[in-house]
Amino acid sequence: MNKIQVLRVEPMKYPEFVEIDNSLESLQAQVDGYIEAIYPFDDAVGIICNDEGKINGMPLNRALYDDHGQIIDIIAGNFLIVGLGKDDFVSLDEKHRGKYMQMFYAPQIFVMKNEKIEAIELKSAKSLESTERNFAEYEPDI
């Protein structure tokens, strides 16, 4: 089986490089369902995410931005950053490994402010643990 090294990004976690089988089944297992490939960057990389992540209520993960820093989409659930070969997905090269690790490094939470969704980056392990604890303790009144 052909293996590739990709960047896996999970909600509320720091990204990590993993080696996976380059197969449909493996990609589906990584994103917990049917895959969708999107290509929002000029680089030879793609994002593999769950095709129905938002519809199925998966946790919001990371925002994608336009050239002006405005949110254009939010990926729900786990996703992978993969390299693009001629006919298939390939391992990320060194240049793209660093660039996309930095781009997606900080976990994000999302809030409504002035009728717009904003992403707040959690840049330290302490803030991440505190946020997880606060969300875990929250029980909505029903």
DSSP 3-state of 122? coil
Cα dihedral 76→81→86→88 (10° resolution):
-60
Residue 21 tokens read as: 């089988």
> How confident is the model at residue 1, as a pLDDT?
57
Residue-wise pLDDT for 17-76, tens only, equals 999 999 999 999 999 999 999 999 999 999 999 999 999 999 999 999 999 999 999 999
Give the number of other Cβ atoms within 10 Å of residue 130's Cβ: 12
CA distance 112 to 57: 18
Question: In terms of Cα–Cα distance, which of 90, 85, 79 is closest to 7?
Answer: 79
Question: What does the alpha-carbon distance between residue 38 and residue 47 come to, in Å, rounded to a whole number?
Answer: 5
